[in-house]
């Protein structure tokens, strides 16, 4: 396949100007895609502009008579609508999927219902499948790891399409599963199957992206803002527990949130419901956004909540601070139109649960208060990606505020990693593989967004964050707050939790190696 040089792509007059990384990726993809290598993975940091790259690549392949149609798959309706607009703008072709169109765009959820017609389309012409936020799909990898519904649909289309283009800033699954269609190479490491598994051994396989554009590169290229992650802690936490069986009250003092979370009656989800830490995090976010809006009146902030009730509470707290707030959840009337309206407005705050966590392009977002109970590295990075997309030469920094929870400490320290070593590989069975790609799957893991439940994962061992203390209030007054008995695993402890006003913010900075 003939490929244009990257500088020719950059200099083209009939399409938007491309960033250097986008041109390099397109050039490499044009040289790589073939009948022998039909699948291509672009791993680019959230906010780098993957969709524009994909649209220009599709246009190159259409003009080069390498494909006839483009099918796009994305995780949510709002993401799909933006992708459809970009594809139509770049290719000049309708993407509504009807007669005369150059392709179609669907959510992954719709793939299950449209699989037959998409197979028929693939039989009528040469199709490139673009599957965005590819980590949502789980592929069959043997052992106890089964394909989910989205992975099953992709595997069903694999032999029907000519090329596939996978896009993700975080190409791994939190459950350790393997992504479909992509290349994994065996490593030298071997291990026994987990207890209860089939007889045999397991091997480690490493994901092999075809193109990588890291956050470090994006910051150096002035494509992304410099993320400043500030973790809020408290130096004087008082836990008073009333033991109903002994009818005694005992008080313990904790010097940090990680230390407090060791207590069996305390969990992170519960902390996200307390007045003092919530109000402090939101106040910090409001103060920072007010500073940014002095120079950029359109700058905005995002609050990520744990569930709908939590989002409604956080909205009220922001309004009590004198802020104008747009609340968008899966239950919001006309949610996607409201999201578009917020994108094009100058409103300061948006509160959501999962609808703005990934793939949503609102470049004016520069501040985030991360108050979600979800503590996976993938979710943390995806949310951070909502605020790092840069708009101009003076648009340098973005700010994420969260509680000083051990998992979040760890993730904040690793945000410069392209693909962390412990997430870059999967374990697969080499004996007794599952016979059917349509084996049982839990589709609830991939229903997006999940906004109704709030579960808590086990906290890590105590780990104090290294970094610079950039703000501190040393007032020592306390207020008693009842936690209730829901956090007690035995039913014998009714704890009251009090935070002093001695909150601190620890800055966890991205460390860039010298050029």
Q: What is the residue-wise DSSP string for 313-345?
A: HHHHHHHHTT--EEE--TTSTTHHHHHHHHHTS
Q: How far apart are CA 47 and CA 35, in angstroms?
A: 31
Q: What are phi and psi of 169, to 5 degrees?
A: -90, -15
Give the DSSP H or E segment for 368: strand 365-370
Sequence-distant (6+) residues with CB within 8 A of 158 are 164, 180, 181
CA pair distance 366, 288, nearest whole angstrom: 9
How far is C-alpha 353 from the chain's CA centre? 12
Number of Cβ within 10 Å of residue 152's Cβ equals 24
pLDDT in the model for residue 483: 34
Residue 353 and residue 305: Cα distance in Å, rounded?
5
Residue 61, beta-bridge partner list: none
Choose among 111, 22, 232: nearest CA to 97: 111
382: left (phi over 0), alpha (psi -120 to 50) or beta: alpha
- What is the spatial distance between Cα 356 and Cα 329, in angstroms, rounded to a whole number? 9
pLDDT at residue number 155: 73
Tokens of 494: 């009714």
Are 329 and 308 contacting, i.e. CB atoms less than 8 angstroms apart?
yes
- Integer CA distances (angstroms), 487 to 233, 274, 483, 494, in order: 20, 13, 8, 8
Q: How far apart are CA 75 and CA 311, in angstroms?
A: 21
- Dihedral angle computed from the Cα positions of residues 214, 81, 398 and 171, in that order, rounded to the nearest 10 degrees: -30
Half-sphere exposure of 307 (CA within 13 A, CB side): 10
**Are the C-beta atoms of 132 and 154 separated by less than 8 Å?**
no
Q: How many CB atoms lie within 10 A of CB 176?
A: 14
For 2, the token pair is 């003939």
Report pLDDT for 476.
Answer: 30
pLDDT tens for the chain, 515 residues: list them.
443 344 445 445 455 689 999 999 999 999 999 999 998 999 998 888 999 999 999 999 999 999 999 999 888 888 898 999 999 999 999 998 887 889 999 888 888 788 888 888 888 889 999 988 766 666 555 443 566 666 676 777 777 889 989 898 876 666 666 666 666 666 665 554 444 444 555 677 677 789 999 988 998 899 999 999 999 999 999 998 877 777 778 889 999 999 999 988 889 999 999 999 999 999 999 999 999 999 999 999 999 999 999 999 999 999 999 999 999 887 777 877 888 889 899 999 999 987 776 667 788 999 999 999 999 888 898 899 899 988 887 788 999 999 999 999 988 888 877 666 665 555 554 443 333 332 222 322 333 333 333 334 333 322 222 222 223 233 332 323 333 333 334 444 567 889 988 899 888 866 665 44
Task: Write the DSSP assignment of 283-315 as a string of letters.
Answer: HHHHHHHHHHHHH-TT-EEEEE-SSHHHHHHHH
d(CA 283, CA 285): 5
pLDDT at 366: 96
Count how many residues are written for the chain.
515
Quote the CA–CA distance of 110 and 71 in Å, as a whole number. Answer: 12
Residue 112 tokens read as 């299950």
SS3 per-residue string spanning 255-277 = CCHHHHCCCCCCCHHHHCCCHHH
Cα separations in angstroms, 419 against 159, 208, 459: 29, 11, 23
What was the pLDDT predicted at 76?
A: 82
The token pair at 136 is 């949502």
* 133, 139, 141, 142: CA torsion to nearest 10: 140
pTM score:
0.77
């Amino acid at each position: 396949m003939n490929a244009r040089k990257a500088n020719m792509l950059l200099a083209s007059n009939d399409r938007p100007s491309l960033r250097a990384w986008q041109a390099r990726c397109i050039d490499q993809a044009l040289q790589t895609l073939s009948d022998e290598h039909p699948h291509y993975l672009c791993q680019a940091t959230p906010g780098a502009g993957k969709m524009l790259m994909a649209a220009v690549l599709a246009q190159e392949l259409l003009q080069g008579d390498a494909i006839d149609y483009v099918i796009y798959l994305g995780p949510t309706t709002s993401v799909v609508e933006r992708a459809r607009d970009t594809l139509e703008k770049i290719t000049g072709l309708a993407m509504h999927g009807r007669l005369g169109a150059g392709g179609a765009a669907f959510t992954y959820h719709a793939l299950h219902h449209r699989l037959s017609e998409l197979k028929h389309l693939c039989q009528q012409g040469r199709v490139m499948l673009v599957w965005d936020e590819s980590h949502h799909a789980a592929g069959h990898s043997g052992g106890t790891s089964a394909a989910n519904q989205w992975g099953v649909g992709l595997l069903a289309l694999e032999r029907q399409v000519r090329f596939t283009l996978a896009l993700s800033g975080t190409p791994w699954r939190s459950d350790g599963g393997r992504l479909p269609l992509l290349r994994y190479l065996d490593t030298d490491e071997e291990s026994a199957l987990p207890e209860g598994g089939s007889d045999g051994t397991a091997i480690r396989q490493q994901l092999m992206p075809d193109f990588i554009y890291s956050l470090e590169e994006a910051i150096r290229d002035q494509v992304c803002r410099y993320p400043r992650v500030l973790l809020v802690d408290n130096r004087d936490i008082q836990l008073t527990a009333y033991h109903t069986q002994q009818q005694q009250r005992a008080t313990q003092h904790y010097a940090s949130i990680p230390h407090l979370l060791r207590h069996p009656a305390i969990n992170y989800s519960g902390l996200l419901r307390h007045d003092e830490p919530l109000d402090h995090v939101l106040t910090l976010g409001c103060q920072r956004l007010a500073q940014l809006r002095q120079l950029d009146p359109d700058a905005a902030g995002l609050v990520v909540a744990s569930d709908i009730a939590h989002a409604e509470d956080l909205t009220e707290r922001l309004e009590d601070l004198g802020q104008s707030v747009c609340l968008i959840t899966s239950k919001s009337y006309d949610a996607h139109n409201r999201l578009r309206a917020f994108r094009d407005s100058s409103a300061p705050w948006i509160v959501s649960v999962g609808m703005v966590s990934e793939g949503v392009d609102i470049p004016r977002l520069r501040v985030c208060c991360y108050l979600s109970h979800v503590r996976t590295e993938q979710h943390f990075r995806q949310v951070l990606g909502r605020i790092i997309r840069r708009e101009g030469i003076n648009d340098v920094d973005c700010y994420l505020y969260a509680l000083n929870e051990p998992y979040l400490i760890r993730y904040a320290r690793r945000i410069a990693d392209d693909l962390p070593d412990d997430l870059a590989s999967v374990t697969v069975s080499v004996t007794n593989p599952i016979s059917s790609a349509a084996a049982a799957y839990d589709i609830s893991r991939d229903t997006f967004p999940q906004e109704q439940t709030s579960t808590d994962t086990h906290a890590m061992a105590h780990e104090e964050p290294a970094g610079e203390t950039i703000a501190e209030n040393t007032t020592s007054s306390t207020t008693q707050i009842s936690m209730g008995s829901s956090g007690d695993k035995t039913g014998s402890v009714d704890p009251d939790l009090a935070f002093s006003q001695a909150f601190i913010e620890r800055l966890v900075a991205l460390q860039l190696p010298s050029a």
